[in-house]
Amino acid sequence: MIFNEGTRGFRAYTTKHLDDLLREKAGFGEEARLRVRAVATVLPFRTNAYVVDELIDWSAVPDDPIYRLVFPQEDMLPEADVSRLANLIRTNAPVKQLTAAANEVRMGLNPHPAGQLDLNVPKIGDEPVPGMQHKYPETVLFFPKQGQTCHAYCTYCFRWAQFIGEPDLKFASGDVDALVGYIRRHPEVTSVLFTGGDPMIMGEAVLRRYVEPLLDLPQIDSIRIGTKSLAYWPGRFVTDPDADDTLKLFEQVVRSGKNLAFMAHFSHPRELEPQAVGSAVRRILDTGATVRTQAPLIRTINDDAATWAHMWRRQNAMGMVPYYMFVERDTGPQDYFAVPLADAYETFRDAYAQVSGLCRTVRGPSMSATPGKVCVDGVTEINGQRVFVLHFIQARDPELVGRPFFARYDPTAVWLTDLRPAFADRFPFEPAAPVAA
């Protein structure tokens, strides 16, 4: 198999290419390849020639951060599961048996954190509007049905369950009229966030069908596109046949008096290095769009302050605005990637202390949890008790936003659900306990 056909045209690699990539690029032996393939029966794998040829340092595999960002690793799943799945592949077990075994392992990985399946499916009257989430009053999320994949998958993705092809695990819509109808009935909505998958996987003509109808809605201030395309396929804005038309669409949004907010997902400063990324960012900014950056803090990929400080400085130099550092969600191979909240806070603080005020637009570490986005502001001692200081950046209940609250310090806690209230018997987002008789 030949992998180097140049990177001008987009070339996807999927699980059927995995064995060849691991042999030819990583030089893995048969057993090591088998174990990675075993993991890939459970977790989705997709990458592309640009990521493989331009971003991964193959001489540093398996420790290379970009390799870890896109390739399954055998230690992402319990050893016994990997051995069982590897044996099934080795012995050419029937596909049905392998699929059943993989499903079993998958269901142990909390595939739907924070009720991703049925979360607040909004309604017009009694009719649910699929492909939408309306969690915060001013912002509606929309999942276009043609945008439900990515140029490459991140191993830590919290939406990974969408990518394994079970129809009942998918939620997406092609019905932009329903979106517009819903927004008209909800004057509090000012921002639409297209997400997925990656909306930039859509060609310009399809993207336009979703974006254009929103331009007639005076209540909408901003149209956001959550995307990893600048990191995984900057050619989308430079060399793709519809690159120019896509940029014209962005320009049209800006001319209509709305902010086209490009929410770029960058996990590591390496992703900013190729020249194509600089060109792509320049071209997007030239349309009048803004580019804000966000990523989760991931163990073994970007879990040190120097990496973040470097990343934010480079982003700022390139004209982008650092926005969020997230805490990895409680799903998938979370034991493998999770960074304790106490460490996440230290890493954030150390990085934040190293950058100028222009990069301090960034907020975090932030957990997108069921009641809202909770930021870990710090660790302190009050009345002799060590506590986390927290606040809601976003909340389903706007009353909670911006008010500090406390949790008992726990160096092992990795998620909101691991925390216990301090100086109170419940968190502000929890209902009051019924009064005992």
Ligand X SMILES: *Cc1c(COP(=O)(O)O)cnc(C)c1O
- Kindly list the residues in this chain that would bind ligand X in the complex (CB under 6 A): 135-136, 139, 141, 193, 368, 373, 393-394
Residue 372 dihedral angles phi and psi, to the nearest 5°:
150, -170
- Closest distance to ligand X from the beta carbon of 99 (Å): 31
- Closest distance to ligand X from the beta carbon of 299 (Å): 21
Nearest residue by C-beta to ligand X? 368
The C-alpha atoms of residue 235 and residue 224 are separated, in whole angstroms, by 20
Residue 150's nearest CA partner among 273, 233, 214 is: 233
The C-alpha atoms of residue 376 and residue 378 are separated, in whole angstroms, by 6
CA angle 395, 397, 398 (to 5 degrees): 75
> Going by C-beta distance under 8 Å and a sequence separation of 6 or more, which residues neighbour residue 30?
none
Residue 66's nearest CA partner among 268, 230, 228, 229 is: 268
Burial class, 96, CB count within 10 angstroms (exposed 0-12 / middle 13-18 / buried 19+): exposed
- Closest distance to ligand X from the beta carbon of 120 (Å): 9
Q: For ligand X, give the closer residue by CB, 71 or 194.
A: 194
The C-alpha atoms of residue 52 and residue 71 are separated, in whole angstroms, by 10
The C-alpha atoms of residue 160 and residue 334 are separated, in whole angstroms, by 12
- Closest distance to ligand X from the beta carbon of 14 (Å): 28
Q: For ligand X, give the closer residue by CB, 169 or 393.
A: 393
Q: For ligand X, give the closer residue by CB, 163 or 324.
A: 324
> What does the block give as tokens for 270?
């390496």
Q: For ligand X, give the closer residue by CB, 386 or 396.
A: 396
What distance separates the 2 farthest-apart alpha carbons in the chain? 74
- Closest distance to ligand X from the beta carbon of 382 (Å): 28
CA distances from 224 to 118, 210, 359 (A): 22, 12, 20
Residue 333's nearest CA partner among 304, 367, 298, 295 is: 298
- Closest distance to ligand X from the beta carbon of 373 (Å): 5
- Closest distance to ligand X from the beta carbon of 376 (Å): 15
- Closest distance to ligand X from the beta carbon of 139 (Å): 5
Residue 389's nearest CA partner among 399, 400, 403 is: 403
Q: For ligand X, give the closer residue by CB, 13 or 158.
A: 158
> What does the block give as tokens for 154?
């991140």
H helices of 198-242, in order, are: 204-211, 229-232
Q: For ligand X, give the closer residue by CB, 141 or 351.
A: 141
- Closest distance to ligand X from the beta carbon of 136 (Å): 6
Residue 121's nearest CA partner among 103, 113, 133, 107 is: 133
SS3 assignment, position 51: helix
Q: For ligand X, give the closer residue by CB, 234 or 371.
A: 371
Q: For ligand X, give the closer residue by CB, 222 or 279.
A: 222
Instruction: Identify the residue whose tokens are 């030819």.
Output: 24
- Closest distance to ligand X from the beta carbon of 295 (Å): 13
Q: Do residues 66 and 54 make contact, with C-beta atoms less than 8 angstroms apart?
A: no
Q: For ligand X, give the closer residue by CB, 373 or 391.
A: 373
Query: What DSSP element (H or E) covers 80?
Result: helix 79-90
Q: For ligand X, give the closer residue by CB, 316 or 368.
A: 368
- Closest distance to ligand X from the beta carbon of 134 (Å): 9
C-alpha dihedral (279, 64, 60, 58), degrees to nearest 10: -50
Q: For ligand X, give the closer residue by CB, 313 or 373.
A: 373
